[in-house]
Structures are given as C-alpha cells and as structure tokens.
Structure 1
C-alpha cells in the first residue's frame, strides 16, 4: 500500500510539473529586442580589413572608418567611393545567396543616395554602414530571420 501511495504521489507531481519545451527557430514569446538582432546578417567585411582594424579602435566611428579606409570604400574621410562599395556589395551577394533584394536595397538607399544617420560626430563611413544595415534588415531573407 505504501508503494502505491508513493507511486500515486509521483504520478500527481509529474502531471502538475512544468513541461520543458525545446524552443523552436522562432521564439513565440513577445520581446522588445531591437530588430537588428533578429536578422542574422553575415559579416560584410573581408577578414584582411578586419584584422587591420583590430583591436577595435574606441569611439562610435573609428572602427567603421578604419574598415572603410582599409577596404578602399572612401576616397577621403567624407566621400564614399561609390564604385568600390557597390562592387564589394555585389561580390558579397554572390557569396551569400538569398540576399539579392537586401543588396539591391542597400545599393539604392546607401550608395546611390547620400545617407545621413545623424551621429553626433560627422562620419561618412558610419552613415553608409548604418544605412546598409537598415536596408539589409528591411529585406532580410526568411532564412536569416531568427526572432
């Protein structure tokens, strides 16, 4: 009888316990995370340029400025080398299938126009890079969406 009571107690406890569920690809719980964390955009820079600018310089502009200068994306600190940046984005898209719409939007919004992201410090590299990230987020492929 004692074993029966223990067995019943275990059954009742188990039936009232929270069931641990494995999270699915998309979290169903609401969140106020910035949308930028929801799109898994692959690294845009080449490893050579990243290594030239590491360790990361301090400040809101210096790291992006360093990478843009090392990559030849600027003709001077305030002028985007549109041909070089457009070519880089097109080459990147060929290595990252599924991102065609995002790259087209980035070129249209950020290369063909003169974006300004309103950082307190004037920084062309930051303006263009932030614009590129926003454009790619807006056209994030379903396969890269993780929220």
Structure 2
C-alpha cells in the first residue's frame, strides 16, 4: 500500500489517498475541517481524483494539476529527517529532542515541506535554517498563517 496526500492548490483542502499494491485507489480520507457536501460532490466528479497511482504521475508530468500530490513518508525517524534536510549544521542531539516531541502528523508535514522550503530558499537566495530551528519554529506551518 502507498499513501499520498493531495492538497488543493487554491483552498488548501487535503485528501489522503491510499493505493493497493497494483496501484489502484482503495481508500479516500478527507482531512481537516468539516467538508461541505458540494465540495465533496465536486471532488467526486469524473476525472477529479486519480483512480490509479500511474494517473498521479501522468498528471504531474503534464502539469495538469488542481492538487499537489506527495507521497506520505512512512519513515518518520529523525535519521530520515536529517538525511532529507540539506543544511546539516547545529546540534544534532538538540534537534533530535525537538523532533521526538512532534506528533506523527507534524513529522509528516515537516518532511513533506522540506523540498518546498529548499526550492523557496534557492529561489529567493536566502539560507536554509538550521535543522533545530526548522523543527522548533515549525516552518512547515508558515504558509498556513
């Protein structure tokens, strides 16, 4: 089973999508605040949701996206975070303590935001935060505020 999160580009609504070993959609979970019935009906219109895993990749390649699709990481360990984060400076034990205090949901959001942060910092020419600062400051929440 593979799990993806689909984040609507305009509304920031999130949908968890689960695909079986054959790449077929088997589960849909609406995340966050209460969803309006018209929004759910809109999502279930033909062609809105990728019914297969390969359809996600096809949409990404063709840039035909109403949603951003990201695979939900299964490894929520600090070592995985450390390997993904490009700026390997600061005190590792301290950063690890902050990481261990996060909930699994926060760890997933933190891991999913890393590539976006790297691209953003590269584009605007500013430095990446230290890992501990990224975690303690919950940088992945910055866009939501």
TM-score by length of 1: 0.24
Higher relative contact order (CA 8 A, sep 6+): 1
TM-score by length of 2: 0.24
Q: Greater strand percent: which structure? A: 2
